[in-house]
A and B are shown apart, each in its own frame.
Chain A
Amino acid sequence: MSDPKIDGFELKPGFRGMASDTGSDQTMFKGVHWGKAMMWIFLLSDTFVFSCFLIAYMKGRGSTPVEWPNPSEVFALEAFGVPVPLLLIALMTFVLITSSGTMALAVKYGYEKNRKMCGWLVLATAIGGLTFVGMQAYEWSKLIHEGVRPWENPFGAAQFGSFFFMITGFHGTHVSIGVIFLFIYAYKVFAGHYENGGKRGWFTTMKGDYVEIEILGLYWHFVDLVWVFIFAFFYLW
């Protein structure tokens, strides 16, 4: 991962290294697995998609003269008979950060070829993600019961519902896809697909390697990263 060594090449550090890597008439991302580079480029495009959603939300919220629903009241939850603002959202945030932490450790143990630890941590991440999706499903059904629709809601500006369902729905879809892949990769780690030179993957003759866990980890951390922005702009703002 860090400080790659490539035969016949002297890798310079810093911006000088960036210039020589880019102008080397060769692979630009030295020492980076092609799958990891492609995942990063996919995540960059996904960043633009989510940015467009959040910018659209900013414009919609900023341009309406009608009062915007107060998120700390709309998303409040009763705990022991007292309404606690944003309780569920705070729990979801902590669950997602926890699963991000277990994922980071899974990547570390993967590179150390610690199959058992890596597998259990990927599984723990999957369960954390599943918990998150479950809580989001609860949040959606609660709001739908209260009459929030994409075209109207009882709390204030009508645009609120469409932005809420669009942004959290798209994020939830990402989490759900991540959970499916986390379960698959937990199986692959436990089954030893990355051990002893690796086993052939799907639709490919290439052998598996623990770098796949890092690539999966990049996606999962990105999902957490997007939630950081949604939490700040949609729930706290």
Chain B
Amino acid sequence: MDDTNQINEKDKKSQESTHKIGIYLWIWGLLFVLSFFSYMVDWYQFQGMLRWSLILFFMFAKAGLIMAFFMHLFWERYALVNVLLWPMTAIACFVFLMAAEFEYTLFSRMFYFFVGGGV
């Protein structure tokens, strides 16, 4: 009796100091499901806006789950979380800048190919 009590005590204590195994298994399962769905996007050859939005949705959902639970950001203090996440806005700005830039590059390539530089 004493032994089982001790084990229960120990189990309880370890469960308090770490997270329950269920949360990891749930996230793991969700990641599998989301990966499967993102593969299905290609399998069924969805095209156009549907394809882009589904790809981005599954990508951000997976990235969010990994960072929040596997990398423990959900449980970290905001001082750390904000230091890590705010720099991502700089990346987002860079993406928009370069998106504008490739449109322009493509335009000038096509323009000088079809119209020429002599106009």
Contact = CB atoms under 8 A, between A and B. Distances in A.
Q: Bound pair: A and B? A: yes
Main SS of the interface on chain A?
helix
A218 B71 contact: yes
Main SS of the interface on chain B?
helix
Contact of A221 (B17, B66, B101, B113): B66
A62 B103 contact: yes
Contact of B42 (A2, A30, A236): A236
Interface of A: 1-4, 11, 14-15, 17-18, 21-22, 28-32, 37, 40, 44, 47-48, 51, 55, 58-65, 72, 85-86, 90, 93-94, 97, 100-101, 103-105, 108, 111-113, 214, 217-218, 221-222, 224-225, 228-229, 231-232, 235-237
19 contacts: A1-B76, A30-B77, A32-B80, A37-B80, A40-B83, A40-B84, A48-B91, A58-B95, A62-B103, A63-B105, A65-B109, A85-B43, A90-B39, A100-B31, A101-B70, A224-B70, A229-B59, A236-B38, A237-B52
Contact of B21 (A3, A44, A108): A108
Given A15-B78, A32-B76, A58-B95, A100 B24 contact: no
B24 A85 contact: no
A111 B80 contact: no
